[in-house]
Amino acid sequence: MDKIILQAEKRTLTGKKVKNMRIAGKVPAILYGDQVETTPISLDKRNTTNILNKFSGSTILTIEVEGEQYATLVREIQQDYLKNELLHVDFLAVSLKDKLRTTVSISLIGVAPVLEEFSALIVSGIDQIEVECLPQDLPEVIEVDISALSEIGSAIYMKDIPTLPDVDFLTDPEELIAVASAVKEEVIEEEEEEELLDVDSEDAEPEVVEHGKKEEESESEEKNTK
């Protein structure tokens, strides 16, 4: 994969003052690490949002600040879910020569025969795997093929996942990844009952559910403890 570079500038604005920065199309961030002085930075909001939407938290991103480049991993993203707006990003600078421990997301791939033959459900277990490797060997995602699930009760555990070159799995081998479960009649009956209740209550007021939450505008610069 080609090097992904994000241009950044050092910033002095903190706290509620970063509101004007966001209005101007910038997103505040922090760059920190064992061998890097903790540095408040700002990046182009649109470009940063596009990059973060395309890649996983396991992708190495290069932050360039005043001509210096730092290999980093995204460690935290703060977002206003109501406005779908990026608020703040924490970037952890890493050494490409030293192994690191982190987690990588699991992606279930393939088609399980049990779905068609037994109308089963695939129940997921853990969704991340702890790994140790050099940053450049870090997989963006770990794919797990569920085509081996051929009957009710068949399961895939950590110990069943093929190893990856230069990557050590640290998660317990007995952790469950996915299992084929039978569809219970009670669940179907309950869904049918709910549908009948919906038909009988057409005049009832709809329930309004608000999703997401607003992030506070105040920023905390106490990242030096990390």
pLDDT tens by residue, 68-122: 999 999 999 999 989 889 999 999 999 999 999 999 999 999 999 999 888 899 9
Q: Please give the backbone phi and psi of residue 2, each rounded to the nearest 5 degrees, phi first.
A: -65, 150
Q: What is the pLDDT of residue 201?
A: 54
The single residue listed with the structure tokens 């699991």 is 106
Q: What is the pLDDT of residue 223?
A: 43
Report the C-alpha gap between 123 and 205 in whole angstroms.
34
Q: What is the pLDDT of residue 24?
A: 93
Identify the segments of the chain with pLDDT beneath 50: 185-188, 205-226
The single residue listed with the structure tokens 């060997």 is 137
- Domains (ranges, CATH) in the chain? 5-94 (2.40.240.10), 101-185 (2.170.120.20)
Pair 103, 128: CB distance under 8 Å: yes
| Identity of the residue numbered 60 | I
Pair 93, 68: CB distance under 8 Å: no
Residue 22 vs residues 17, 86, 87: alpha-carbon distances, Å: 10, 9, 8
